Structures are given as structure tokens and as C-alpha cells.
Chain A
Amino acid sequence: MSTVRFGPELALLVAAGLVVLVDLAYPRRMVSLALGLLGVAAAAVWTLALGFGGGRGSAFQGTLLVDNFSLFFAVLVLAVTGAVLLASWDSLRAMGGREAEYVALMLVAATGALLLAGVNDLIAIFIALELTSVPQYILAAFSRTNRSSEAGLKYLLYGAISSAVLLYGMAFLYGATGTTSLPGIAHALSAHDGRTAAAVVGMVFVAAGFGFKMAIVPFQMWVPDVYQGAPTPVSAYLSVGSKAAGFAVALRVFLTALRVDGLATDWANMFAVLAVASMTIGNVGALWQRDIKRLLGYSSIAQAGNLLVGLAAATATRGDVLGASGVLFFVAAYAFTNLGAFIAVIALSHRLGSDEIDAYAGAWRRSPLLAVVLAFCLVSLTGIPPTAGFWAKLYIFNAAVRGGMVWLAVIGVLNSVISAAYYLGVVGVMFMRPPAEERRISLSPVVGLPLIVAAVGTLAFGLVPGPLIAAAEHAAAVFAH
């Protein structure tokens, strides 16, 4: 009964259907949200049962894998989805009777992201990628305001072009090897000289397609616009869940199928250059932003650059998975940190009625909790101890140094210094400037819960990073040979 391994995805899909059906009889946002969270919880329990109950293996003739790597990302994506659903509580009210559709689309997007971490075949990868992307296009346009529609249009246009590019790359990989399964591709490439023209073209185009999902340069143009225009909880999901899924599938494809001599050096160098470009363009772009969501958009491009450092180092030393486990640890730490920041922004902007950084003046006096959490998360994004973000950067730059890419680590550290200017600039506005008015900002407990969890996680993994590092190393070990 290998189909049991498809259980978490199935639970999410069933929950998505139920949310829409139940909404016909009981159109309440409480009901939709509770059912959605129930689905996420069921999927999480199933995932943990697979993990601890010896459920590792494959399903559908090896198309879907359940291994430490896919389990790591499944837990991460489900946690992010649950947190974003909770954080949507206030925003759901403004959606005029479409709460159920919102929750259902979130669940379908999570299904795709879950699949993306586990699938082992080009066809399945493409389907999973579209399954997570299409609901997100709709969600970005969900508010039906001019700005939200514009965000949806831009996201969809860039997304459609990049999936065509990805498909073209997959066609060439198929042409070069005669198979669509990732182990089959690796086998065919290593049987003779793998670095044929078709394989190189395929590799570059596939990297471009995933680059869109990971939001790296030169496929980053959509990021600030979409983050600014989309409903804020959707931006939060895009910046964490979607990016995590993009890196998961990129790691799987490049480390399973394309880790052949010659070809591996090509893509390691390519990712190293893109890492520098992403970090620099993201950080320099963020310096001029006056809108907090655009600032977080540029910041997420820069963080994707940090993650690429790990991807570039992943193949540097054969048999060593330090780069890959660095990416995993960074993604997890970044998920806690960035979610904390985004949820604080959701709560603050909802009450302030503005996303302008200037409107955050004196937030410390109006809501000490939100201001402290946001400041703490921004400090973590900068990479200052005692936060999870510090260990994440240390880990990933260490992987680069060990992989012989010292220059890359140096540029990464220099970029962290630039990033301090805008991250700490926001902190300064919140704590140093006088507030425009003294009225307190209230926080609903439903939004407060994921906020506290994210902040505590950022602090806890900053003080005791050991368990998370162990989990990341365990998950990355599937790529060791």
C-alpha cells in the first residue's frame, strides 16, 4: 500500500474540497478557517506518522518519494501554511464572502508545495509546480482592487513565461537522456560524457524556470510589485512557502539528476554568480524603499541570494552535503524569521491603514509587542546573534568557505553589512521617532498566536540551533553518495 505515502497531500485536497462545500451551508469565516486548519493538522499528523512510523519509500512507481528530505520540507510547508491561515484572520473579513475560496486555494497551493519536495520525475515536477503556482496567481489578485489585480497579472505573466522556459529545458533534458525520471537522467548522463550541448541547454533553462519560484536575479522583477499589491498574508506565503518549495525542487533536481562531472561545475559556478547578483541587487534595491512590503520583497531577493550560496557550495566537495544542509537550515530559520516579520506587518498595517514605513513611527509606544517582535525578526534577517538568522548565515557561509568559495562568503558578509542599513533603519523608525498619535494598537489573539510562535522559534533556534542543524543534516544526507 504505497499510496499511503500520498496521504498528507490527499488530506489537504479533501480539506480544500470540504471547505468549499461546507461554505455553501455555513458561510462563516470561523468555519472555513477551522476546517482549513484541521486539514493542515491532519496532513501534519500524517506526515509525522510517516516519518516516525517507518513510512519512508516511494509511491506511484517511484514518482513520489517519502524520504528525510521531503519530510523536512513537508513539515516546514505545513507549519507555514497553518501560520499564514491564522494570520489571515483579520484580512479574511475584508474578502466579502469569499473566505472559503481563499482558504481552499491556500490548501491547494500547499498541496503543490508538498508534492514539489517529494516528486522524482520531470512530468510530476511540472504538474506540482503548476499546482502550487496557479492558486497563488489567483490569491495575489484576490482583493479585486486595482493594485491586487495588477499584482496577479504581473505574477501570472512572469510565471507563465518562466514555466514555458522551464518546460523547454525539461524537453532538452529528455532529449539528452531519453527519460523523465531524475535517477534515470543521472544514470544516462553518467553513462557517457554528460556535458552535451542538449544537457547544458536543458540545465540552464531548468535553472531559469526554478529561479522564478526562488525569486533570484534575473527573475526577480515581479517580486516587489507582487508583494506590495497582493494581500499581505499572501505575500507572506509567497516569501516563505513558495520560496522554500522552489529551493526544495531545485536541490532535488540538481543534486539527483544533474550532479555529473563537468555539468555540476557549470551549475555551481552559475549559481555562485547569481548568488552575488541576487544579494547585491536585493540589498541595494531595498535601501530606497518607503513601503514596508516592497522592502521585505527586496529583502527576500537578497535572502534568496544567501540561499543560492548554499546551492553553489552543494556540489563543491564530492560526497559532502554541507551546502545542501546549509540551504535546509537557512530555509527553516528564514521561515520563522520572515513569517514573524510579515505577521507583525500584517497586524500593524491592518490597524495603521498604511504600509508606509513612516507610518510605523513610534510603533514602540503604540504596541510594544508588535514592535519588539518586528525588530527582533529584522535583527535576525540581518544576521546578528542571538537569532536563528545568525546561525543560518554562519552555516551557509561556512559551507561556501569549506567548498573553496571564500570570495563568495566575503561578498555575502559585505552584503549583510549593507542589509543592516535598511533593516535597522525600520527598527530606528519604530523606536526613536515620536508616534503620530498615542492610540494603542490592538492585536487579535488569532493573529497573535503564530506571531509569538514565529518569534519564539527565531529566538529558540538562535540560542539552541543544534536540533535544527541535526534535522537539516539528516534530511540532506539523502543526497550523499
Chain B
Amino acid sequence: MDVGVQQFVALSGVLFAIGLYTALAKRNAIAVLMGVEIMLNAVNIAFVAFSRFIRGEDPLAGQVFVVFTLTVAAAEAALMLAIAVAIYRGRESVEVDEITDLKA
């Protein structure tokens, strides 16, 4: 079987769904972050696959995009961990459903 753009898009779709489910269903802030990372990697697969298979005026743009995505994802992860540490200092927990000071 030839592996074409459909297979890659299907893979990225499955990964994205897994990541989104993890991000929405997990209660630990760190696990939510892991879900977001999976989503971002699904995005990267889609970009690289489109860049390889699509005829357009800008075939390299997809690969360039991935470099930026990776960088920004690293920055977001660092910030997320810093805030998680700050939260943990205050409460000894990073379970998101125990962090409920803010309510009506």
C-alpha cells in the first residue's frame, strides 16, 4: 500500500483527538500539559505531510511552520511548569479540580 497524504492526515487526526481527550479529561495539570504537547505534535505531522505532498506556491512553508511551533511549545511548557511549581508551593497539589478558589 502506498503511504500518501491521507495516511498522514489520519495519523495526525488520531493523535490530535488523543491529545485533546487527554487535555480535557486529565485532572493533573502536568498531564493536561502532556495532552497539549501531543496535540502540537499532531499539528507538526500534518504540516510536514502537507508540505511534502501538496503542490502549492509555498511547499517549504509547512516545514518552516513546524520549527516555530516547536519553539513556542517549549516556551509554553517552561511557563506551565513554573506556574505549576508556584501552585504546588501554595497548596501541595496540582490537581486542577482541587484548585477552586475562584468561584461565584
Contact count A vs B, C-beta below 8 Å: 143
A178 touches which of B20, B24, B58 (Cβ 8 Å): B58
Say whether, besides A127-B68, A175-B9, A153 and B57 are in contact (CB < 8 Å).
no
A160 vs B30: C-alpha distance in the bound complex, in angstroms?
A: 13
Q: Mark B18-59, 1 if CB is under 8 A from A, else 0.
A: 011001100001001101100110110011001100111111
Which residues of the other chain, A, contact B68 by a CB distance below 8 angstroms?
123, 126-127
Residue total for B at the interface (Cβ-Cβ under 8 A): 49
A150 touches which of B36, B54, B61, B101 (Cβ 8 Å): B101
Which residues of the other chain, A, contact B46 by a CB distance below 8 angstroms?
168, 171-172, 175
Which residues of the other chain, A, contact B43 by a CB distance below 8 angstroms?
164, 167-168, 171
Which residues of the other chain, A, contact B87 by a CB distance below 8 angstroms?
146, 149-150, 153
- B7 CB, min distance to chain A CBs, angstroms: 14
A294 vs B12: C-alpha distance in the bound complex, in angstroms?
A: 38
- Does chain B have a CB within 8 A of A447? no
- Does chain B have a CB within 8 A of A288? yes
Asked whether B80 lies within 8 Å of A177 as measured between CB atoms, the reply is no
Which residues of the other chain, A, contact B36 by a CB distance below 8 angstroms?
157, 160-161, 164
A386 vs B16: C-alpha distance in the bound complex, in angstroms?
A: 50
- Does chain B have a CB within 8 A of A397? no
A171 touches which of B50, B99, B102 (Cβ 8 Å): B50
- A329 CB, min distance to chain B CBs, angstroms: 32
Asked whether B91 lies within 8 Å of A146 as measured between CB atoms, the reply is yes
A288 vs B103: C-alpha distance in the bound complex, in angstroms?
A: 12
Which residues of the other chain, B, contact A178 by a CB distance below 8 angstroms?
50, 54-59
Which residue in chain B gives the minimum CB-CB distance to A171? B46
Asked whether B56 lies within 8 Å of A138 as measured between CB atoms, the reply is no
Which residues of the other chain, A, contact B84 by a CB distance below 8 angstroms?
153
Which residues of the other chain, A, contact B33 by a CB distance below 8 angstroms?
157, 160
Asked whether B102 lies within 8 Å of A150 as measured between CB atoms, the reply is yes
Which residues of the other chain, A, contact B12 by a CB distance below 8 angstroms?
171
- A309 CB, min distance to chain B CBs, angstroms: 27
Which residues of the other chain, B, contact A179 by a CB distance below 8 angstroms?
56-58, 61
Asked whether A229 lies within 8 Å of B83 as measured between CB atoms, the reply is no
- B64 CB, min distance to chain A CBs, angstroms: 7
Q: Mark A287-330, 1 if CB is under 8 A from B, else 0.
A: 01111001000000000000000000000000000000000000
- Does chain A have a CB within 8 A of B1? no
Which residue in chain A gives the minimum CB-CB distance to B33? A160
Which A residues between 138 and 191 are near B, CB-CB below 8 angstroms? 138, 141, 144-147, 149-154, 156-157, 160-161, 163-165, 167-168, 170-172, 174-175, 177-181, 184, 188
A342 vs B68: C-alpha distance in the bound complex, in angstroms?
A: 36
- A290 CB, min distance to chain B CBs, angstroms: 7
Say whether, besides A130-B75, A134-B76, A168-B43, A146 and B101 are in contact (CB < 8 Å).
yes
- Does chain A have a CB within 8 A of B3? no
Q: Which of A123, A144, A153, A177: most chain B Cβ within 10 A?
A: A153
A144 vs B65: C-alpha distance in the bound complex, in angstroms?
A: 34
- Does chain B have a CB within 8 A of A241? no
A229 vs B79: C-alpha distance in the bound complex, in angstroms?
A: 18
Asked whether B104 lies within 8 Å of A294 as measured between CB atoms, the reply is yes
* CB pairs A–B below 8 angstroms (9 shown): A134-B76, A147-B101, A161-B35, A161-B39, A164-B16, A165-B20, A174-B56, A188-B56, A291-B104
Q: A154-B102, A165-B39, A171-B12 are in contact. List 18 more A-B contacts (CB 8 A).
A: A122-B65, A134-B79, A141-B86, A146-B101, A149-B87, A153-B96, A157-B29, A161-B24, A161-B36, A164-B16, A164-B20, A168-B16, A174-B61, A175-B9, A175-B46, A178-B55, A181-B58, A290-B104
| 4 nearest CB pairs, A to B | A178-B56, A164-B39, A175-B50, A171-B46
